[in-house]
Amino acid sequence: MHNYTIKKILKEDGLSKVLLVENNEIEGVLVEKKELPFCNSQSLIKSIHEKLYPESLCPRLINEDTNIYEYLGDKVGIKVLEEHQLDMLGQAIKHLHSNQLEGLKVQLFQDKMKSYQDILGSNFRDPIIEEGFKIFEALYKKDQKAIFCHNDLNNENIFFNGKCKFIDWDYACYNQPIFDLAMISKSFNLNHKQQEVLLESYGDSSLSFDDISEFSLFISYLEYIWLKVIQELDYELFELEERLMQIKNDLN
């Protein structure tokens, strides 16, 4: 699809632009992104797709040279999940976590947190950031098994089209599995019953509601840290100040 026609913009936030394109009546999604120092490289993301597409966990990469992917459908992020979708989602995440992607150089989540610390610098003082790193150290001081996780499973990165598929692998790395589940719980504002369905479909009795609660809180702090990092790097991100203020209000 080298000679493609742009049909419309699907998403644009200042850091990235997602376009619906067409060539010879074949539709695809063209992803244009700024290269961020803590994100996975495009070559690694392509390799992740090559590994996970046969497992029906992500869209097909149509054209490697231009970052054009299979079009999964035009939709705004789903706000509410039905029980059957939660069940499907839990099973898909379990399937994802069983794929350890041998042969790929994938970071630990702790490495990405270290990148944030380095960018912010030792003299950066912000009580929310300090509390966020304190929670991070408490949650990750234990010797937990790290597995391949998506790490950004918000409602815009999950598609249901017969199967559950995930997009946007910029932050994928080895992490504790509860992180992905907590991200979903927070993004969709799951209640206790919905969390129960998600945990049961995931099928790991060692994970609990308390784990989801702890990591959901950490993810709120992490989003604030990430936004501050973007601000420190002087990148343009739509509604950055508004998002920072909203998180401050939510955490207070």
Q: How far is CA 206 from CA 66, 188, 199, in A?
A: 42, 23, 10
Q: How far is CA 186 from CA 51, 153, 190, in A?
A: 28, 10, 7
Decide: helix, strand or coil at residue 62. Answer: strand
Measured distance CA(245)–CA(145) in Å, rounded: 35
Q: Are 61 and 49 in contact (CB under 8 A)?
A: yes
- Name the strand (E) or helix (H) holding 61: strand 61-63
Would you write out the chain's pLDDT as a tens digit for each of its 252 residues?
Answer: 568 899 999 999 999 999 999 988 889 999 999 999 999 999 999 999 999 999 999 999 998 788 899 999 866 567 789 999 999 999 999 999 999 888 899 999 999 999 999 999 977 889 999 999 999 999 998 777 899 999 999 999 999 988 999 999 999 999 999 999 999 999 999 999 999 999 999 999 999 999 999 999 999 999 999 999 999 999 999 999 999 999 999 998
Measured distance CA(18)–CA(20) in Å, rounded: 7
Measured distance CA(19)–CA(70) in Å, rounded: 12
Structure token pair of residue 245:
């203020």
